[in-house]
Amino acid sequence: MSKKVAVIAIGGNSLIKDKAHQSVQDQYLAADETAKHIVEMIKEGWDVVIGHGNGPQVGFLLQKAEIAEKTASLSMAPLDVCGAQSQGQIGYQLVQCLQNQMKKAGINKPAACVIEQTIVNKNDPAFQNPTKPIGGFMTEKEAKAKAAELGWTIVEDAGRGWRRVVPSPLPERIVELDAIEALIKAGIIVVSIGGGGIPVIEHEDGTLEGIAAVIDKDFGNSLLAQNLKADMLVISTAVEKVAINFGTPEQKWLDTMTLEEAKAYMAEGIHFKKGSMAPKIQAIINFLEAGGKEAIITNPENILRAIHGETGTRITK
């Protein structure tokens, strides 16, 4: 890419602040706040591709489908279809908010959402060990009935009930990469890679088929940044900076980190939680090892300050 390109990964939870703010209007307000900070980057000459999480939104879709199935005998949509629905929903919200914020800023630049599929390996070890909980809680009887009827893998979740778990395979190829790249070259702000992408497998004849799985959105956005040869990968999360020894008396916030330091911290296995910061650090390691220049981790309101080196954690080679 000849332009200054940043891939920005925002969490699905960043659109839902807490349990008291889960409505569509609340999500709009959160998306608008995030869009405002991204537009500040655009004003400074960056072309951006925005990826987003979708965990809470897919959870809502599944729970609504479960209720509809029980009360109206409507069949549930497959998980890959729910992923596509969430990509459309969140993409629409983000694109509209970006358009409105750019208009306020006097920027004449289009934005578009690309519904995106990500190819995963059907032989990925994750398919032998599903770990990602999705959907609502069930009684043991309901869960075992679903397992028998639909082949679900079900687990008991810390005494709160039973839940379905699905695999979380690694992303291998972005199906719509050429379309995303063409839009960026045309000067269009792109929203894509929702939830890490809709997981699909590729058959020997080249045809694709959706599969029940969840891709880590940070790995999906890292792969996109690698493919685009982006200048920067920005991972927007709930904290302003990364800390080592988090939650202990030895906790230390980091302004900078080298690739080798990041790998060493990951190898120690005590600094970053598997379900939160660890995949973000690993996604950045993957990006830098594939030729990426630099990456930043910070919260949405500090994205521009982090770009300027005023806050956030910057990871470089």
Active-site residue numbers?
12-13, 132, 217, 280
Q: Estimate the crossing angle of helix 217-228 against helix 177-185, to 10 degrees.
A: 60
Where helices occur in the chain by DSSP H, the ranges are: 24-43, 55-72, 79-104, 140-150, 177-185, 217-228, 259-268, 277-289, 303-307
Contacts of 6 (CB under 8 A, 6+ apart): 41, 46, 47, 48, 49, 230, 231, 232, 233, 234
> For residue 51, what are the β-bridge partners?
9
Q: Which two tokens stand for residue 264?
A: 């060493």
Comparing CA positions, the residue from 210, 215, 217, 220 lying closest to residue 80 is 210
Would you give the distance in Å from CA 300 to the centre of its chain?
A: 14
Comparing CA positions, the residue from 173, 176, 217, 180 lying closest to residue 83 is 217
11: number of CA atoms within 13 Å, CB side? Answer: 19
Name the burial class of residue 142, with classes exposed (0-12), middle (13-18) and buried (19+) by CB atoms within 10 angstroms of its CB.
middle
For 36-61, letters b (16+ CB in 10 Å) and e give bbbbbbbeeebbbbbbbbbbbbbbbb
Contact 97, 28 (CB under 8 A): yes
Distance CA 218, CA 11 (A): 9
